[in-house]
Amino acid sequence: MDYREIKTLLEKYLEGESSIQEEDELKRFFNENENIPEELLFAKKLFRFFGDEKTIEYTKEFEHKKPRRKINLYTLSGIAATLLLALFFVFSNYKTKEKIIYAYINGEAITDINIAKEQTKQILYATSQKISTGIESLNRVGDLMNPELLIKK
């Protein structure tokens, strides 16, 4: 067979467009001929590999093992999630017995709610006094805007 024909058949084979007869012809050519051009040596190795693999027989028998009992993954994860939730609820109750800090005054933590309320009332009263003083000053500035009042005085 001509090398040009073999090249076209090989191209068809590599593209997946060859027929079974053409594949058999390629197998025969590469298995029987020893003088093959260098550009086609890869195909010779490929077809010889396929031929060698067909002749290998596997003689070892498989041992049939009974499948182990497997714990269902969903069951196991459900048990783990339940345990985690139970631990969370048990240990979360211990933390609620700690004292609640309502405020810090001069760096000291206030944990009694009544003291915190009294301190808040005092701070709000002092703030409202300062706001009242500031509003009185603004009322005097408003008088300066009225020219009639300035002339009468």
103-153: pLDDT as tens digits: 888 888 888 889 889 988 998 888 888 887 777 776 666 666 666 666 655
Spatial CB neighbours of 13, under 8 Å, sequence gap ≥ 6: 22, 23, 26
- Does 15 map to a domain? yes
Record the tokens describing residue 81, joined without a space.
């999630």
Distance CA 114, CA 121 (A): 11
Query: What is the number of structural domains in the chain?
Result: 1
- Does 67 map to a domain? no
Q: What is the dihedral of CA 43, 48, 51, 53, to 10 degrees?
A: -100
- Does 70 map to a domain? no
- Does 11 map to a domain? yes
Is the confidence at residue 97, as pLDDT, over 60?
no
The confidence band for 82, taking pLDDT boundaries of 50, 70 and 90, is: very high
Of 19-23, 47-51, 93-97, the range with the lowest mean pLDDT is 93-97
Question: Which of 36-50, 58-72, 85-99: highest mean pLDDT?
Answer: 36-50
- Does 72 map to a domain? no
Is the confidence at residue 59, as pLDDT, over 70?
yes
The confidence band for 83, taking pLDDT boundaries of 50, 70 and 90, is: very high
Is the confidence at residue 14, as pLDDT, over 80?
yes
Instruction: Please report where in the chains the tokens 């002339």 appear, as a residue.
Output: 151
- Does 7 map to a domain? yes
**DSSP H or E run through 105:** strand 103-105
Q: Among residues of the chain, what percentage have pLDDT more than 70?
A: 80
- Does 81 map to a domain? no
Distance CA 153, CA 140 (A): 14
**Who has greater pLDDT, 97 or 72?**
72
- Give the residue numbers spanning the domain of 35: 3-55
- Does 84 map to a domain? no
User: Which among 40, 50, 41 is positioned nearest to 8, based on CA atoms?
Assistant: 40
pTM: 0.37
